[in-house]
């Protein structure tokens, strides 16, 4: 077969392998959302952009800024692994879930989503997939101010540049809103709003030729108001509950390149604190920590017409958890766990038309049985602009500290005998690129075993002995001929079933729509910039979180937004934005109202490029 070029692209993917690769050369199912789309759509929270990614289900418990869950390909919310500038950012003090509600878009230069099990590369929690945010910024400085409906206000800014051998990038954002009454009961209750203040930064130093040192960090803080439960009836009520959260991390790294050899090392530290209050009275507080260090080597070589990259890595992680309940000191606890891992990956390109990628990882746990995970994939370029890909992957997820040791007398007692959840699955895809057009069709199937579920009385947890299955189809389309218009469209079908016991019939998984999709467009014409998005969420099922704990079918909905900006000069732009433009009356979770149509206006300043 003759040498064929991969689908042409300059986009770099950072989490589909242990080393960066061009998007057109990776077999993984990847979605990239870049700086221009983030700015032109103007959504204030990062999670809004995830609705444009196929097979991602977003569930928000009320108004903007409240607890938000993201499920990839029918997996659980704690089966999504989040990286912020290369730092593992799942919160060990909050069930090991990513805190998407704290992540505002003023911090982002790009969003990358890799779908499917990735534990052979990145370890626990990467069952559904990986979300990576951050990236470098455009050289110069920028600032934004915005205000609008529901008492929303926003200030943000950033700067990026280079001075000699130093390169830097920094972003910060402050948001607040009065919100709405999220309790789905009689109208007239107090509003449930939020505020967050977040920042991130990157600094790299080219110390010598082929030697680079880097320092990255982020801090996410937020306060979210919500409606909880009546302390006497335990029914949902219009209460004054609020949560105050903090998540911060730093990472020191170094890289040495000499010819075909590259060696990199890193050390990171993350800390979190979550305080739950009723009015101003403390209900409970949890603290979490994660320390991680590792070393990785990469070596490139040729054998005949084939090119190979060999990657080997080793890392160690320690997580800590503390909880305190002022009303019940017997519920206080302090826990920790440790994990080591070794990883090997071989990426090869054979004769120009076939690329393969095989990764094997061994995780060594001090609290669980050790696990080995595998990922193997292949990408065939059948003709210029035509590719076929296939992959097999395995995933694991550790039980959270709450699953293992949670203790609320009369309500919940943890189960320290839990086993990690395990997943395996495959996917096949066909891809086409012709001029300005891009398209991909993907089918996948995954199986989850040892799923952690609630016991029949909801007072503890256990491993299911049945198998939960997820299967689906994803369609992605894109067209971008010039700066004037970049349009993308997606559709996803998902069939997700849970089997708690092997003798039971499978039951439909909750909070996962069978049908979903999106259309988004952005562009620029002269002084005018524009962006619009439309997301469809199909019917889905949820369980009421108070008596009678019944199953409820929630209706489908369309969620639309748009932004127009007019540049007065090279530095100043005025813009207007509308969210939920169709004024959809919808719920992601039963009993939690969401915001209606809102309008916003603001100004954007730019200096430099």
CB 289 within 8 Å of CB 320? yes
For residue 560, the model assigns a pLDDT of: 97
Cis link prior to 489 (omega < 30° from 0)? Answer: no
For residue 279, the model assigns a pLDDT of: 86
Indicate which CATH number applies to the domain containing 551: 2.40.170.20
Q: Rounded to whole angstroms, how far apart are CA atoms 88 and 98? A: 9
For residue 119, the model assigns a pLDDT of: 96
Q: Is residue 78 domain-resident? A: yes
Angstrom CA distances, 244 to 77, 101, 220, 232, 276, stand at 21, 12, 11, 25, 7
Any residues with CB less than 8 A from the CB of 476 and at least 6 apart, and which? 31, 54, 438, 439, 440, 441, 442, 488, 489, 490
Q: Is residue 230 domain-resident? A: yes
Beta strands in 209-240 (DSSP E): 211-226
Q: Rounded to whole angstroms, how far apart are CA atoms 179 and 65? A: 9
Q: Is residue 6 domain-resident? A: no
CB 334 within 8 Å of CB 368? no
Q: Phi and psi for 235 in degrees, rounded to 5?
A: -95, 155
Pairing of strands 80-84, 129-134: parallel
User: Among 315, 127, 69, 104, which residue's Cα sits nearest to residue 222?
Assistant: 104
For residue 158, the model assigns a pLDDT of: 92
Q: Is residue 444 domain-resident? A: yes
What is the value of pTM for the model shown?
0.94
For residue 1, the model assigns a pLDDT of: 46
Element (H, E) at 48: helix 47-50
Q: Is residue 326 domain-resident? A: yes
CB 211 within 8 Å of CB 262? no
User: Among 533, 522, 536, 464, which residue's Cα sits nearest to residue 497?
Assistant: 464
Q: Rounded to whole angstroms, how far apart are CA atoms 561 and 579? A: 4
For residue 7, the model assigns a pLDDT of: 59
User: How many domains does the chain fold into?
Assistant: 1
Q: What is the CA 450 to chain-centroid distance, rounded?
A: 23
What is the mean pLDDT for each group of 10 consecutive residues in the chain (609 residues)? 54 86 89 93 95 95 90 95 95 93 91 95 95 84 95 95 92 94 78 93 93 96 89 80 94 95 97 92 93 97 92 97 84 91 96 91 94 96 92 95 79 89 96 93 97 86 94 96 92 95 89 96 95 97 87 95 96 96 94 94 87
CA-based max dimension of the chain: 75
Q: Which two tokens stand for residue 558?
A: 């369309």
Q: Rounded to whole angstroms, how far apart are CA atoms 153 and 174? A: 8
Q: How many CB atoms lie within 10 A of CB 369?
A: 9
For residue 62, the model assigns a pLDDT of: 85
For residue 422, the model assigns a pLDDT of: 96
CB 54 within 8 Å of CB 35? no
For residue 4, the model assigns a pLDDT of: 54
Q: Rounded to whole angstroms, how far apart are CA atoms 89 and 272? A: 10
Q: Rounded to whole angstroms, how far apart are CA atoms 597 and 469? A: 37
CB 271 within 8 Å of CB 289? yes
Angstrom CA distances, 179 to 151, 191, 220, 593, stand at 7, 6, 20, 11
Q: Is residue 290 domain-resident? A: yes
Q: Is residue 596 domain-resident? A: yes
Domain ranges, residue 148: 12-608
Q: Is residue 3 domain-resident? A: no
Any residues with CB less than 8 A from the CB of 232 and at least 6 apart, and which? none
CB 603 within 8 Å of CB 137? no
């Amino acid at each position: 077969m003759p040498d064929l070029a991969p689908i042409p692209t300059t986009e770099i993917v950072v989490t589909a392998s242990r080393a960066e690769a061009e998007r057109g050369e990776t077999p993984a199912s990847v979605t990239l959302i870049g700086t221009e789309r983030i700015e032109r759509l103007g959504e204030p929270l990062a999670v809004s952009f995830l609705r444009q990614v196929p097979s991602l289900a977003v569930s928000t418990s009320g108004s903007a800024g409240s607890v938000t869950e993201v499920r990839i390909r029918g997996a659980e919310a704690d089966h999504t692994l989040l990286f912020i500038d290369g730092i593992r950012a799942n919160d060990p003090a909050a069930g090991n879930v990513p805190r998407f509600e704290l992540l505002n878009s003023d911090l982002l230069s790009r969003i990358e989503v890799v779908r499917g099990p990735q534990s052979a590369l990145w370890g626990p929690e990467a069952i559904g997939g990986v979300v990576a945010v951050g990236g470098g910024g455009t050289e110069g400085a920028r600032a934004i101010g915005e205000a609008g409906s529901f008492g929303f206000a926003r200030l943000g800014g950033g700067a990026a540049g280079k001075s000699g051998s130093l390169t830097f990038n920094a972003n910060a954002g402050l948001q607040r809103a009065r919100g709405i009454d999220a309790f789905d009961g009689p109208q007239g209750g107090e509003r449930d709003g939020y505020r967050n203040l977040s920042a991130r930064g990157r600094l790299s130093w080219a110390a010598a030729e082929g030697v680079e040192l880097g320092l990255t960090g982020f801090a996410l803080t937020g306060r979210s108001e919500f409606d909880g439960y009546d302390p006497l009836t335990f029914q949902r009520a219009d209460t004054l509950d609020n949560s105050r959260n903090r998540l911060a991390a730093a990472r020191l790294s170094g890289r040495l390149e000499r010819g075909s050899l590259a060696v990199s090392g890193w050390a990171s530290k993350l800390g979190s604190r979550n305080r739950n209050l009723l009015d101003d009275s403390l209900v409970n507080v949890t603290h979490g920590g994660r320390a991680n260090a590792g070393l990785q080597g990469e070596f490139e070589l040729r054998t005949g017409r084939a090119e190979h990259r060999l990657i080997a890595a080793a890392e160690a992680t320690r997580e800590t958890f503390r909880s305190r309940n002022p009303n019940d000191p017997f519920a206080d606890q302090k826990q920790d766990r440790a994990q080591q891992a070794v990883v090997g990956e071989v990426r090869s390109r054979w004769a120009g038309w076939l690329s393969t990628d095989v990764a094997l990882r061994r995780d060594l746990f001090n609290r669980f049985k050790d696990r080995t995970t595998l990922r193997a994939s292949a990408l065939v370029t059948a003709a210029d602009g035509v590719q076929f890909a296939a992959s097999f992957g395995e995933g694991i997820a550790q039980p959270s500290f709450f699953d293992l040791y949670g203790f609320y007398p009369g309500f919940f007692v943890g189960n320290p005998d839990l086993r990690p959840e395990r997943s395996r699955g495959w996917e096949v895809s066909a891809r086409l690129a012709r001029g300005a057009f891009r398209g991909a069709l993907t089918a996948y199937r995954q199986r989850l075993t040892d799923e952690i579920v609630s016991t029949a009385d909801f007072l503890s947890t256990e491993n299911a002995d049945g198998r939960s299955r997820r299967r689906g189809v994803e369609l992605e389309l894109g067209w971008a001929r010039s700066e004037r218009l970049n349009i993308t469209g997606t559709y996803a079908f998902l069939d997700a079933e849970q089997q708690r016991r092997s003798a039971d019939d499978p039951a439909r998984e909750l909070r996962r729509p069978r049908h979903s999709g999106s259309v988004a467009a952005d562009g620029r014409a002269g002084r005018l910039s524009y962006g619009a998005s439309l997301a469809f969420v199909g019917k889905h099922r949820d369980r009421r979180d108070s008596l009678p704990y019944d199953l409820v079918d929630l209706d489908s909905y369309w969620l639309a937004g748009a932004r127009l900006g007019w540049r007065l000069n090279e530095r100043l732009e005025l813009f207007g934005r509308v969210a939920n433009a169709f004024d959809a009356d919808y719920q992601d979770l039963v009993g939690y109202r969401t915001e209606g149509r809102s309008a916003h206006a603001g100004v954007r300043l730019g200096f430099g490029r």
